[in-house]
């Protein structure tokens, strides 16, 4: 009798182990499940919801500001401009008319290079969003943001947002050095100031 009981317990344990192995999730599946659970938890305390797609002008403003004023990417660009002007001024007498023209052309090209590259990059992004993506839903909640696009959801806690940058016509929630979420004033509408104050209160001190 005892042997039968032991065999039965061993079979039950083996069955439980087999069932556990059968439902074992991969790391990617575990991360996706955790993200879905976090989305559901955040949405229970939703404060605002906006649906829109970033436009060309939204992307241009962000790309230009990042390219020209970013603390890492901006200084080398402006340093090159300053050195080129300094060289032109100091060497004006020694340079002939032809060499002066060459230096001036180089300075103009340099001044145009970064803005034009930023504009072209924004244009490519805008075309890609238009052709391959649907509208994005931004759910602003008490504990973070939930982004919904093309049936996919992504939870972003406020702890992962580095800072809130405020500009005249848009607010930028910076997640990484060169990426984040853009909230245009003319799209958000009458809730814009309220939303901006709410985001600042959640990411204050960063």
Alpha-carbon distance of 201 to 206, in angstroms, equals 11
Q: Mean pLDDT of all residues in the chain?
A: 84
Name the one residue in this structure whose structure tokens are 């001044």.
111
Q: So where are the chain's domains?
A: 58-131
CA angle, residues 192, 196, 199, in degrees to nearest 5: 135
Alpha-carbon distance of 96 to 186, in angstroms, equals 52
Smallest CA-to-CA distance from 77 within 109, 121, 29, 102 is with: 109
Confidence of residue 206 (pLDDT cuts 50, 70, 90): low
Whether pLDDT at 67 is above 90: no
The token pair at 37 is 């659970």
The pLDDT value given to residue 17 = 56
pLDDT tens, position by position, 5-60: 454 555 556 555 544 444 566 888 888 889 999 999 999 999 999 999 999 999 99
Whether pLDDT at 192 is above 90: yes
Query: Whole-angstrom distance between the N-terminal and C-terminal Cα of the chain?
Result: 68
| Number of other residues whose CB lies within 10 A of the CB of residue 194 | 12
């Amino acid at each position: 009798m005892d042997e039968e009981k032991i065999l039965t317990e061993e079979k039950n344990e083996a069955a439980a182990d087999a069932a556990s192995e059968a439902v074992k999730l991969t790391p990617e599946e575990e991360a996706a499940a955790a993200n879905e659970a976090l989305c559901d938890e955040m949405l229970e305390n939703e404060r605002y919801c906006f649906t829109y797609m970033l436009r060309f002008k939204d992307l241009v403003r962000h790309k230009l500001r990042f390219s020209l004023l970013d603390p890492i990417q901006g200084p080398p660009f402006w340093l090159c401009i300053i050195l080129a002007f300094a060289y032109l001024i100091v060497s004006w007498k020694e340079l002939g008319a032809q060499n002066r023209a060459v230096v001036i052309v180089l300075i103009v090209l340099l001044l145009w290079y970064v803005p034009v590259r930023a504009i072209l990059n924004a244009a490519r992004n805008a075309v890609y969003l238009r052709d391959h993506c649907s509208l994005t839903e931004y759910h602003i909640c008490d504990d973070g943001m939930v982004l919904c696009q093309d049936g996919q959801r992504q939870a972003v806690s406020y702890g992962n947002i580095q800072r809130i940058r405020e500009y005249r016509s848009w607010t930028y929630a910076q997640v990484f050095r060169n990426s984040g979420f853009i909230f245009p004033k003319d799209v958000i509408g009458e809730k814009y100031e309220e939303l901006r104050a709410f985001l600042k209160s959640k990411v204050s001190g960063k």
